[in-house]
Amino acid sequence: MRMYAAGQWIDAEKKINVLSPYDGTVVDRVPCADPGDVENAMEGAVRGARTMGSLPGYDRYRILRAAADLIEARSEDFARTITLEEGKSLAESRFEVSRAVQTMTLSAEEAKRLHGETIPFDGAPGAAGKFGFTLRVPCGVVVAISPFNFPLNLVCHKVGPALAAGNAVVIKPATDTPLSALKLTEVLLEAGLPADGIACLTGLGAEIGDALCRDRRVRKITFTGSRDVGERICRMAGIKKITMELGGNSPIIIMPDADLDKVALAVAATGYSNAGQVCISTQRVLTSEKIYGDFLDALKPKVAALTTGNPLDERTKVGPMIREKEAIRVEEWVNEAVAGGAQVVTGGVRQGAIYAPTVVADVSPDMRIFRDELFGPVVAVTRFDSIDEAIALANDTIYGLAAGIFTKNLEWAMRFAREVEAGNLMINWGPQWRADLMPYGGLKESGFGKEGPRYAVEEMTELKLVCFHLAG
Ligand code: NAP
């Protein structure tokens, strides 16, 4: 495919091969953008921001609504594209496409709801007779940088609200998975988006990231990706609005009164989707000493039953990791934990880029699979004695994206909600749960700002204050 900027589909001499994570075959080739392409995209986006800013909300609604319908009509093509470039199972890709339809539909609705409020100036000393209100206005040019793991829906979470709010947007998709974002760009143009309202630059973040993020014409950066790249972007960006959706190592707490069959089902469902490459995957399973053995007995068969293989095969539940080097990294971290005294309950084997769904028990908080973001199909089980210890372990991390607890006890559930430092808190389910309409984002070094179209539109706009100094 070609990339799109300043109203044109463009090519480049230097190309990037898009590879199947499963067998390494070339799925497609895309241009490798250079800083000159960034300049061209910026000039287009500045024009686009003027056009988008003067487009009525109802027109923006209709474009986004039409785009949602086009994605739905092309669901199977989008799903196959996601599986081919990203490696998740077809069932998971179909689910991602259905979520993208939701995200674009919600964004369309938000295009009609950009509003301010009246300010009660008469409540301020000496300000009687003044009349004021706030105006919500687009930022202008938005740069949207996205990760590999949800190549369609996470791009929609940025592009949908940015356009709903009347901005022009420059997308920089992950180099491993640029095809879904390019197809989304096609769909938006077909839906009637002004030609300069969007750009999609394919190229290496390490080569064009600085130019994109430093540019003073950019008024807003929305980034989803790893903590370290996020920190680099924050340092480079200078004075502009930023949303950071970064990594995590989400915990689930299993209290002694939990229904262990339901817990095992939830851990198997929330620890291994997309081969564990989900920012809110269940990574750390903090388990009460009282039910530790029974929980492992309930979990083991459920995880062992997760079939691995070719993600295009309808029977496959867990596909490959994005690259073999990532599966090798996961294997190293598990082996390191085992050398330190942890036990593999099931899994622990690798074939190329496929790492078998794995449970590691007796994990201690100093181990890498507890401390860092593993981002692979492994859960690490650790014991605790009391709710105080469970909450302390849950919070013993630089991250704060999501967490879950299983209990029937309201007091424990409420303490978890108040005291666990995470942006998304699930009671009686694992951390990996998201409805696209909810406010979503992390605390601590998992980032700042919220996604979910209603909340993202606020991040993509500025608030102006208007005051009438009336004569009377
Ligand atoms: P990544 O390596 O940080 O890459 C993310 C994006 O940043 C890619 O488009 C990448 O481009 C770009 N990039 C790399 N270096 C850059 C630079 N110097 N300047 C500007 N952009 C740059 O992350 P990933 O491996 O794709 O995704 C996995 C990470 O994303 C995990 O940490 C996961 O937790 C996180 N994530 C978070 C959320 C959330 O909502 N909080 C959701 C999904 C994923 P290239 O591909 O060209 O390097």
- The overall pTM is greater than 0.95: yes
* Per-residue confidence band for 132, with pLDDT thresholds at 50, 70 and 90: very high
Whole-number pLDDT of residue 422:
98
pLDDT digit string (tens) for 430-448? 999 999 999 999 999 999 9
pLDDT digit string (tens) for 237-252? 999 999 999 999 999 9
* Per-residue confidence band for 421, with pLDDT thresholds at 50, 70 and 90: very high
Cβ-based burial of 202 (10 A; exposed 0-12, middle 13-18, buried ≥19)? buried
Average pLDDT of the residues of the chain: 98
pLDDT digit string (tens) for 379-403? 999 999 999 999 999 999 999 999 9
User: For the domain bounded by 3-246+446-467, which CATH number is listed?
Assistant: 3.40.605.10
Contact between residue 179 and residue 151 where contact means Cβ atoms under 8 Å apart? yes
DSSP 377: S
CA-nearest residue for atom 35, ligand 1, is: 225
Where in the chain are the domains? 3-246+446-467, 251-437
Residue 41: count other Cβ atoms within 10 Å of its Cβ: 32
Contact between residue 119 and residue 57 where contact means Cβ atoms under 8 Å apart? no
Q: How far is the CA of 57 from the centre of ligand 1 (A)?
A: 31
* Domain at 251-437, CATH from 3.40.1710.10, 3.30.70.2190, 3.40.309.10, 2.60.40.10: 3.40.309.10
Contact between residue 285 and residue 267 where contact means Cβ atoms under 8 Å apart? yes
Say if residue 207's pLDDT is above 70.
yes
The Cα-based distances of 430 to 250, 370, 439 in angstroms read: 9, 17, 17
Place of tokens 């606020």: 458
Query: Count of alpha carbons within 13 Å of 105, Cβ hemisphere only?
Result: 12
Place of tokens 């024009």: 47
CA atoms of 355 and 378, how far apart (whole Å): 9
Residues 327/332/334/337 CA torsion (nearest 10 deg): -160
Say if residue 285's pLDDT is above 70.
yes
CA-nearest residue for atom 24, ligand 1, is: 147
Place of tokens 């204050």: 465
Task: Please give the number of the atom of ligand 1 that sits closest to the Cα of 145.
Answer: 9
Contact between residue 392 and residue 416 where contact means Cβ atoms under 8 Å apart? no
CA atoms of 221 and 213, how far apart (whole Å): 7
Whole-number pLDDT of residue 471:
83
3-state class (DSSP) for residue 275: helix
Say if residue 56's pLDDT is above 80.
yes
- Assigned token pair, 30: 């895309």
Q: How far is the CA of 189 from the centre of ligand 1 (A)?
A: 26
CB-based pocket (< 6 A), ligand 1? 145-149, 154, 172, 174-175, 204-206, 209, 213, 224-226, 229, 232-233, 245-248, 279, 373, 375, 401, 442, 447
* Per-residue confidence band for 472, with pLDDT thresholds at 50, 70 and 90: low
Q: What amino acid is encoded at 396 in this protein?
A: D
Domains 3-246+446-467 and 251-437 share a fold: no
CA-nearest residue for atom 26, ligand 1, is: 147
- Assigned token pair, 470: 């009336």
CA atoms of 318 and 355, how far apart (whole Å): 9
Give the chain's length. Answer: 472
Residues 145/333/430/78 CA torsion (nearest 10 deg): 40
Contact between residue 137 and residue 83 where contact means Cβ atoms under 8 Å apart? no
Q: How far is the CA of 341 from the centre of ligand 1 (A)?
A: 32
CA atoms of 90 and 195, how far apart (whole Å): 32
Name 196's Cβ contacts closer than 8 Å, sequence gap at least 6: 6, 7, 44, 45, 47, 48, 51, 168
Task: Please give the number of the atom of ligand 1 that sits closest to the Cα of 172.
Answer: 9
Whole-number pLDDT of residue 42:
98
